Structure 1
Amino acid sequence: MLLAWVLGWSELAPFGALLGAFLVAGYFQPAAFAAGRSHLTLSYPLLNTIILLSSGWCAAKAACYPAGAQKQKSALLAAAGGGFAFTAVKITEYLGELPHLTGEGLETFNQLYFLTTGFHLVHVIFGSLVLIVVAYRPGRENVAIVTTLWHVIDIVWLVMFPVVYAI
C-alpha cells in the first residue's frame, strides 16, 4: 500500500507545479487569461467532471468486491470506460479550441492550458489502460493501487477545473 501513496504524491507534485504556474501567470497576465478563458466552453469540462466522478464511483465499487469477482471486473472496466469517454470529450473540446490558438497575447495561456490539461489527459488514458489490465489480473493489492491512482486523477481534475476554467 506504500506504493499507492508514493504514486499518489508523485502525481500531485507535478500537477501542483503546473496549476501553480497557471495561477501565477494568470495573476501577471489577467487580460490574456480572461481572453483565453473566454474561448473555452464550460459544457465539456462539466460533462467530463460528471464522467470522472461516475468513473471514480465505479473504481470505488471495484475495491469493495472480492478479488476476482465478476462484479469487480465489471466495475474496473466501467471505470476504464469512463476514462475513455473523458478522453473523447476532451479531444472534442480540443478540436473546438484549435481556431483560437493564434490569438494575440494568448501564448502563455494556451501553452499552460494545453500542457496542464494534456498532461492530465495522458494520465487518464494511462490510468484507463491500467484499469483494464488490472480487471484481468485483479489481485487485492493491484486493485487498491489502481483505484487509489484513479482517485488521484479525479482529485487533480477537481482542482484543475476551477483553476483552469473559472478563476
Structure 2
Amino acid sequence: MLHTRYHGPLHAWIRHCGVHDDARAADLCQDTWVRLVNHRRRFDAKMKWRTWAFHVAKNLAKNEGRRLQRRFVTPEGDFRMKDEETVQVRSAVSSSLPEEMMRERQLSARLETVLAELTSEQRTIFTLRFLEGRSNQEASSLLDIPLSALKAKAKRVRLKVLGEMQPLLEDRS
C-alpha cells in the first residue's frame, strides 16, 4: 500500500534533489525502500511516515551528489598545500611515478588550464555535458536556453577543448 502510494513521489523527489540520471534515481528510490524496511524500528510514531521517508531519500540523493563530486577530483588536489614538507613529498612521488601516471597528471593539468580559459557559460556547458554526462535536454533545461542553441554551443566548446588538448593526445599514441 505505501509502496504504491509513495513510489512515484519518492522517485520524483530524488530527481528534484539533484539526481538527474533516471536510472540512478530509480536505484536510489529502491535503496530508499530497502532502508525504510530495514530500519522500520527506528521510525518515531510521533512523526509522519511521509516526512521520514522523504528525509531518507534526500540523504541518499545528497550522498550520491557527494560521490559524484569525489569522482571528478584531480590527483593534484592533494598537493595544493604550500608547506615545505608537502613540496618534498610531491617531488619524491613525482620522480617515482610511472610514465603513464605522469602523463595523466599532464593531461589533467592541461585540461584544468583549458577550462580556465573558457567563458563561464562554456565551462558550465562543458561540465554538464561532458564531465557530468547530462543529456542535451537536461543541460538545456538547467541553463534555460533552447535545445538547438545548447547543441551548437556544446559542439563548439567540445571542438575548442579537443583542439587545445590535441597535442598532448597525439603524443600518447
Regarding TM over 0.5, the answer is no
TM tier relative to shorter chain? 0.3 to 0.5
Which of 1 and 2 has higher RCO (CA within 8 Å, sep 6+)?
A: 1
Work out which of the two has the higher radius of gyration on C-alpha atoms and give 1 or 2.
2
Question: Given the two structures, how large is their TM-score scaled by the length of structure 2?
Answer: 0.33
Q: Whose helix fraction is larger, Structure 1's or Structure 2's? A: 1
